[in-house]
A and B are shown apart, each in its own frame.
Chain A
Amino acid sequence: MEISDRVRAGDVRAMARLISLIENGFPEATSALKGLYPFTGQAFIVGITGPPGSGKSTLTDQLTQEFRRHGRTIGIVAVDPTSPFTGGAILADRIRMQRHSLDGGVFIRSMATRGHLGGLAKATNDVVNVLDAAGKEVIFIETVGVGQDEVEVVKTAHTSIVVTVPGLGDDIQAIKAGILEIADIFVVNKADREGADKTVAELKAMMALGPGRSDWSPPIFKTVAIEEEGIVELAQGILAHQAHLDQAGVRQERQRERSHALFLELLQERVTRRLLERAAANGILEQTIERIAHRDLDPYSAVDEFLEKAGF
């Protein structure tokens, strides 16, 4: 059996292996992904982001429990940063989710940010497609909300949840700067701590200042993830957002946007790669760079010339 068939049959080993092929940028991955693509688009994708230690994994674990109670199958992609110094990574989100490890309806995969070819967002999206094609109904993507990369990842989700906690002080400003716009749902986790209401008020104030969205105003949920408090409400909030997407036709719109973005990304990556491979092979790349460096040629004309030669 082809690996893609095995994935479709829900074979855990095959899913896991295909994800590795994707992560390593191996060509076999592409052909398998081609075969799987027609079977994707079924899953509902939820992105969860927020500062380190805000409780994203605990929330993912609790939401998984809640969705499982209602019989939904779950895929989880938990992304942690690669160390820029060593290229290694410690992936530890799983610790909080291990109680689901023996549940056949849950597949958990930890991913390092690495220097993914074509970007982390593309790699994550490919991994999500594998889980989607394997029949996982709800897919959670957990990333630390710090860098642009992570924000991109969450953008590929249908519902983006931004997690914060009381008493972060300046960090809430960081949220404002980076990911306020992408949030469909806000969670103030660790509401057992002092200042949760203040954080909610701050978020509200920020939203009032922001550009505002006509179609959907992001709700704010208070949770105590370790105590299972507010989880049912949050899950219902996710479902409400899903219903909203379906009703308003927004989901299709998002799907289109996603496809658009992914296609462009892929195209960019492929075109660049092919051009560069060819140019590198016949030495043109080196020569051109050399000329630019010596001021024999300006980079703008160089690109024109380059593309012309490539037949554009």
Chain B
Amino acid sequence: MPFDENEERRIESAEETWEEQTLRPTLEKLPERARQFNTVSWHPIRRLYTPRDLSDFDYTQDLGFPGLYPFTRGVYPTMYRGKIWTMRMFAGHGTPEETNRRFRYLLEQGQTGLSVAFDLPTLMGYDSDHPMSRGEVGKCGVAIDSLADMETLFDRIPLGDVTTSMTINSPAAVLWAMYLAVCEKQGVPYDRIGGTIQNDILKEFIAQKEYVFPLEPSMRLMVDTILFGAQCLPTWHPVSISGYHIREAGSTAIQELAFTLADGMAYVEATMKAGLDPDAFAPRLSFFFNVHNDFFEEIAKFRAARRMWAKLMRERYGAKDPRSWLLRTHAQTAGCALTAQQPYNNVVRVAIQALAAVLGGAQSLHTNAMDETRALPTEKAATIALRTQQIIAHETGVTHTIDPVGGSYFVETLTREIEEEAWTYLQKIDDLGGMVQAIEKGFPQQEIADASYRYQQAVERGEQVVVGVNRCVAEVEEPIPLLQIDPDKAAHQQMEKIHQLKKRRDSYPVDHTLDAIRRAAQGKDPWARDLLMPKILDAVRAYVTLGEIMGVLREAWGEYVEPAIL
């Protein structure tokens, strides 16, 4: 903090005295455990931070006040004093019927928003009866093939009252269209529909790898949804710009932060290029970060992210509306930090990670279940994970004041250092010609692959301690109950449903709407300035399946094959 020179000199001399008279004798007797301490991302951490670290710190500029630029202390003026974060637990498996039951159970348990996990065939845009779907239907999430499934999924759930987050990327436009069609049937007007589609296609190329089309058409489809949202759905979040998967793929915290912001910048730039003013869509952008084990690094990451995004939106993109400057974020505890060994320990890890997300100021949170390294969570494990959030919210008192760690010499320094390193990455990406170009050149992929290899080697050499894995290993592992799923039931049911649907539905609108999509995708439509989204809506209303729509787009645009970056 800015203080006068006398004060600074006083502290400096006191520190010198301390080093000489107190610290040194101790170090001579008892050296520290390591010569260098680092965060889990290899960011160096010093012994002690003092006011001198913040001597050039400007409170109003660097921190400001909650709800005000640059939002380091939080995006809202009252934060959790006004409203606890949304406890949004990701759920879904098997058939739409099963997941519908689960959703209704979760809502009864006090959950405040829904979050849909789709199975891999859905995520990849294949119907349940496609050969690539073999063995995968209903495994990692719910299988959705057509509007009929979506109707079942939200049966007896009033979509005007809940908000829904859908983790879907390559086929996001199609699943979103199905959701909107269900809302239409429930009679919920577009301006009362709230929720998010993940729709963050760039991180698929970098990290999660659930891409379908090449980069360019992928970006086109993504921007299409932003434009449609800006026109028709003022309350919907058309993208959740996600660092979560980047971190899960093995990145460092700083890479997660930098690459996520770079993805966001690419979307802003592409949408502005399509003719939209940033203030017309930026307030609807939202983010999704990982919360890993390194407590303070994670808190600092969230704080740095808000400050950087605010600067980017205001200074670089010239957004005028303060809501465009806000980085609102969902957080999820790090799946990759959990261990298959001694799974009960994961409950503790998740609690600490969740606390970091809350101290970091997240708007919504998913806490992982302890058994997720082995299978989908059991109901009991998922409930403990939810209870963990509730305990933090209602018992620990950390919600009583805003940004309780703000002003800590350590946290403020770390926040600043992380921000600086992330800016360096952003500069590099700018030099490569922006994020799309950088991905084409394999830059973020290589950085992540290197970090993940380095981490694995550190664990194997014992330099990075993982309790239960390379330290405090149990002689005998106590087994825990895992969720049992009938492996083929969902597949059979879904295949039968598709079969029935195709027999039943009217084929004229199917062909007609698919043809319209094809022409628009190929750019041969005379109304080429039209968006794809309304055409996709027409198709889903006619019960065209996900696989059919994605199949037409695959034909038109081709499929992406990634370069080998190891």
The residue that B561 contacts in the complex, of A53, A90, A95, A227, with Cβ under 8 A, is A95
- Kindly report which residue of chain B lies nearest to residue A98, judged by CB atoms: B561
Contact A226 B564 (CB under 8 A): no
Task: Mark contacts of B535-566 with chain A using CB atoms, 8 A cut-off: 1 yes-contact digit, 0 otherwise.
Answer: 00000000000000000000000100111101
Q: Interface of chain B, helix or strand or loop or mixed?
A: loop
Contact B563 A53 (CB under 8 A): yes
Contact B566 A227 (CB under 8 A): no
Contact A90 B214 (CB under 8 A): no
Answer whether residue A96 sits at the interface, using C-beta atoms and an 8 A cutoff.
yes
Answer whether residue A206 sits at the interface, using C-beta atoms and an 8 A cutoff.
no
Contacts of A53 in B (CB 8 A): 563
Contacts of B563 in A (CB 8 A): 53, 95
Answer whether residue A297 sits at the interface, using C-beta atoms and an 8 A cutoff.
no
Contacts of B566 in A (CB 8 A): 90, 92
- Kindly report which residue of chain A lies nearest to residue B566, judged by CB atoms: A90
Bound together, the chains give a CA A309 to CA B558 distance in angstroms of 68
A198 to chain B, nearest CB (A): 17
**B292-320 at interface with A (beta carbon < 8 Å):** none
Contacts of A96 in B (CB 8 A): 561
Contact A95 B564 (CB under 8 A): yes
A227 to chain B, nearest CB (A): 7
Contacts of B564 in A (CB 8 A): 90, 92, 95
Task: Mark contacts of A70-92 with chain B using CB atoms, 8 A cut-off: 1 yes-contact digit, 0 otherwise.
Answer: 00000000000000000000101
Task: Mark contacts of A41-58 with chain B using CB atoms, 8 A cut-off: 1 yes-contact digit, 0 otherwise.
Answer: 000000000000100000
A72 to chain B, nearest CB (A): 23
**A122-160 at interface with B (beta carbon < 8 Å):** none
**A192-209 at interface with B (beta carbon < 8 Å):** none
- Kindly report which residue of chain B lies nearest to residue A228, judged by CB atoms: B558
Contacts of A227 in B (CB 8 A): 558
Q: How large, as a class, is the contact surface on chain B?
A: under 10
A149 to chain B, nearest CB (A): 22
Bound together, the chains give a CA A95 to CA B564 distance in angstroms of 7
Bound together, the chains give a CA A90 to CA B562 distance in angstroms of 15
B437 to chain A, nearest CB (A): 10
Bound together, the chains give a CA A226 to CA B561 distance in angstroms of 9
Bound together, the chains give a CA A235 to CA B564 distance in angstroms of 26
- Kindly report which residue of chain B lies nearest to residue A53, judged by CB atoms: B563
- Kindly report which residue of chain B lies nearest to residue A58, judged by CB atoms: B561
Task: Mark contacts of A162-180 with chain B using CB atoms, 8 A cut-off: 1 yes-contact digit, 0 otherwise.
Answer: 0000000000000000000
- Kindly report which residue of chain A lies nearest to residue B442, judged by CB atoms: A53
Bound together, the chains give a CA A53 to CA B442 distance in angstroms of 10
- Kindly report which residue of chain A lies nearest to residue B564, judged by CB atoms: A92
Contacts of B558 in A (CB 8 A): 226-227
Contacts of B562 in A (CB 8 A): 95
A102 to chain B, nearest CB (A): 12
Contacts of B214 in A (CB 8 A): 226
Contacts of A95 in B (CB 8 A): 561-564
Contacts of A90 in B (CB 8 A): 564, 566
**A13-53 at interface with B (beta carbon < 8 Å):** 53
Bound together, the chains give a CA A92 to CA B449 distance in angstroms of 15
B562 to chain A, nearest CB (A): 8
Task: Mark contacts of A84-112 with chain B using CB atoms, 8 A cut-off: 1 yes-contact digit, 0 otherwise.
Answer: 00000010100110000000000000000
- Kindly report which residue of chain A lies nearest to residue B441, judged by CB atoms: A53
- Kindly report which residue of chain A lies nearest to residue B565, judged by CB atoms: A92
Contacts of A92 in B (CB 8 A): 564, 566
Bound together, the chains give a CA A90 to CA B449 distance in angstroms of 14
Contacts of B561 in A (CB 8 A): 95-96
Bound together, the chains give a CA A96 to CA B559 distance in angstroms of 12
Bound together, the chains give a CA A90 to CA B558 distance in angstroms of 27
B432 to chain A, nearest CB (A): 12
Task: Mark contacts of A273-305 with chain B using CB atoms, 8 A cut-off: 1 yes-contact digit, 0 otherwise.
Answer: 000000000000000000000000000000000
- Kindly report which residue of chain A lies nearest to residue B214, judged by CB atoms: A226
A93 to chain B, nearest CB (A): 8
Bound together, the chains give a CA A227 to CA B217 distance in angstroms of 12
Bound together, the chains give a CA A207 to CA B562 distance in angstroms of 34
B559 to chain A, nearest CB (A): 10
Instruction: Output the residue of B214, B558, B561 with the most chain A CB within 10 A.
Output: B561
A85 to chain B, nearest CB (A): 15
Bound together, the chains give a CA A53 to CA B214 distance in angstroms of 17
Bound together, the chains give a CA A90 to CA B566 distance in angstroms of 9
- Kindly report which residue of chain B lies nearest to residue A96, judged by CB atoms: B561
B564 to chain A, nearest CB (A): 3
A-B pairs, top 9 by smallest CB distance, nearest first, are: A92-B564, A95-B564, A90-B566, A96-B561, A95-B561, A226-B214, A90-B564, A53-B563, A92-B566
Known: A92-B566, A95-B561, A227-B558. 10 other contacts (CB 8 A): A53-B563, A90-B564, A90-B566, A92-B564, A95-B562, A95-B563, A95-B564, A96-B561, A226-B214, A226-B558
Enumerate chain A interface residues (CB-CB to B < 8 A).
53, 90, 92, 95-96, 226-227
Provide 13 A-B residue pairs closer than 8 Å at the C-beta atoms, listed in order of the A residue. Answer: A53-B563, A90-B564, A90-B566, A92-B564, A92-B566, A95-B561, A95-B562, A95-B563, A95-B564, A96-B561, A226-B214, A226-B558, A227-B558
Enumerate chain B interface residues (CB-CB to A < 8 A).
214, 558, 561-564, 566
